Structure 1
Amino acid sequence: MLVQIIICAYGIFLAGKVERLSLQDYGIKWQKNDLPKLLLGLVIGIAAFLIVCAPLYLTGAYSLASGSYAIEDIALDFILFVAVGFTEEFLCRGFLLHRFLRFGPFKALALSAAIFSLLHLANPGVTVLSLVNIFLAGIFIGSTMFATNSIYTAVGVHITWNWVQGAIMGIPVSGSTGDGYFVTNIVSNNTVVTGGAFGAEGSIACTILLTIFSVLLLAYAKKNNKLQYFQPAI
């Protein structure tokens, strides 16, 4: 986990050397109030995913059964998703989004989310709707950063979104299957509703709810002048 995070940060550091920028110019900085924001992100990630998949269980499209994961398996998966959360957020909401700030914060958010979506193009079970939803996930995660002025909120959201989805609920994480504390079985044959092999991230419920979450967060960020912190450094 640590090696992966360090390699990612060092790569961005080298890019900054070429462009005569620091990691801070890419939003990668640690301030004394970032720990509460990281913890807030962890809570948001859990709540957001449970809200997204709740309609699938309540309508009977999904059913829940006992899985095979023990506590140590859940803990090991958490470490895995910490590495994924930090590296993907440092790259997409750190380096890329801040690199695109020359076009304004909203365009930068959209462009970085589009690249984030394309990074999942080869994932198992990918569909057009799932790619749209990964784009929306990028918008949502970036919106949490805008709303709190901390990339670590976005990191926290990314970590627990994946962790609850895979290690707890036993749902494929962006098409990647595995065990979990529970096992989620697909009952409905309607892949637009269930997301099919890609998992809940490929469902129409995910589309609707991520859109709502993002609109609310961006409205909050704009109303409270949070976007002033996201000015182009390049």
Structure 2
Amino acid sequence: MRLVWQLVAVVAVAAVGGQGMAAVEGNAWLTLAIGLLTAVLSVLVYRWVVAWSEGRPVTELAREGAGAALGRGTLIGVALFSAVMTNLFTSGYYDVHGRASLTGAIGLIGFMAAAAVTEEVMYRGVLFRIAEERMGTWIALVLTGLLFGLSHLLNPNATVWGALAIAVEAGSMLTGAYVATRNLWVPIGLHFGWNYAEAGIFSTEVSGNDTARGLLDSTTSGPELITGGEFGPEASVYSVMFGVLATLVFMWLARRRGHLVPLRRRAARAQAATTLSR
């Protein structure tokens, strides 16, 4: 039941926040305010419902060190997506025509903060964390990453390839960030940094959504496999490549730090064998 209660609580906040931002669409300052409020409420509700349903300190969203972890994640996300766009630019598939909208970029801070926090507490904080307890790290990573990618099939301009690309580059990468650090602040920052760079800086489509224009007035054109087409650069092979590389680094760190959880049945058999040998 803890899975049900936790999902209901965080989904409710995400739904209300989403409706609020839809109601003020076009107003950058109200979008900023409602988005940040949604992000804060998501953290508070997650802390409350997990502490209530599991009876433990919510260490994965501890206040201590939150700012530094959030900052690190954001910088990684911006750097990774900037690497994607650098490759598109040098290949001649991304053109910058000048500046676009500062107010649009400001509003996108709230929009992307709300999206990053609500999705991370939902997918990594609730679904992956509880699935990992039952299935082990690797199986839970694959299943929840696939679910995360397939959920984007509901987006405008969605394609099967785009959903699979997100499952690999985002679902796996963000889960890897959580496993490596065992806190949600880093994947939240990484998610925000990636999405904000995508829309708020480079002004490209985000998972098929044509959001407000960010800092740069730009256009993307070229082969769909390279640029992502109407779905946006998240469906680009460059995004998949950098996402896979980041996932490998995070999982290497997780293994080095002893953060991987084995499949429960294997762990039980190993423990039983050790007991019998004694």
Same-fold call, TM > 0.5?
A: yes
User: Is the counterpart of residue 93 in structure 1 residue 124 in structure 2?
Assistant: yes
Which residue matches 1:129?
161
The answer to whether residue 35 in structure 2 is matched with residue 10 in structure 1 is: no
1:24-39 to structure 2, matched below 5 A, reads 24=57, 28-39=60-71
- Please give the secondary structure, in 2, of the residue aligned with 1:227: coil
> 2:239 aligned with 1:216, yes or no?
no
Q: Which residue pairs with 2:221 in the alignment?
A: 187
Deviation at 1:212, TM superposition (A): 1.5
Shift of residue 106 of structure 1? 1.6
The number of aligned residues is: 226
Deviation of the 1:13 alpha carbon: 5.0
Larger RCO (CA within 8 A; separation ≥ 6)? 1
Q: Secondary structure at the match of 2:125?
A: helix
- Does the 8 Å contact 1:28/1:90 carry over to 2? no
Cα distance in 2, alignment partners of residues 179 and 38 from structure 1:
24
In the superposition, relative to structure 1, how do residues 33 and 122 fare at CA in structure 2: closer, same or farther (>3 Å)?
A: same
Q: Following TM superposition, where does structure 1 have runs of at least 4 consecutive aligned residues deviating by more than 6 angstroms?
A: none
Alignment of 1:3-82 (within 5 A): 3-5=37-39, 6=41, 10=45, 13-14=48-49, 20-22=53-55, 24=57, 28-70=60-102, 72-82=103-113
Q: TM-score, normalised by structure 2?
A: 0.73
Partner of residue 169 from structure 1, selected from 178, 198, 202: 202
Query: For the residues of structure 2 that align with 1:100 and 1:14, how far apart are their CA atoms?
Result: 17
Q: Select the residue among 228, 232, 246 that pairs with 1:199.
A: 232
Cα distance in 2 between the residues matched to 1:33 and 1:112: 27
Contact 2:150/2:164 (CA < 8 Å) preserved in 1?
no
How far residue 130 of structure 1 moved from its aligned partner, in angstroms, is 1.0
Secondary structure of the residue aligned to 2:152 is: coil
Q: Unpaired segments of 5 or more residues in structure 2?
A: 1-34, 265-278
**1:9–1:107 Cα change, 3 Å:** farther
The DSSP-based 3-state class of the residue aligned with 2:205 is coil
CA deviation after TM superposition for structure 1 residue 23, in Å: 7.5
Whichever residue aligns with residue 205 of structure 1, its letter is: Y
Return 6-15 or 92-101, whichever deviates more. 6-15
SS of corresponding position for 2:61: coil
Question: Does the CA-based 8 Å contact 1:143-1:217 persist in structure 2?
Answer: yes
User: Corresponding residue for 2:177?
Assistant: 144
Q: Distance in 1 between matches of 2:51 and 2:166?
A: 27
Could you tell me whether the CA contact under 8 Å between 1:12 and 1:23 is conserved in 2? Answer: no
TM-score by length of 1: 0.86
The answer to whether the Cα contact below 8 Å between 2:51 and 2:57 also exists between their aligned partners in 1 is: no
Change (3 A) 1:7 1:54: closer
Q: Which has the larger radius of gyration?
A: 2
Corresponding letter in the other structure for 2:115: V
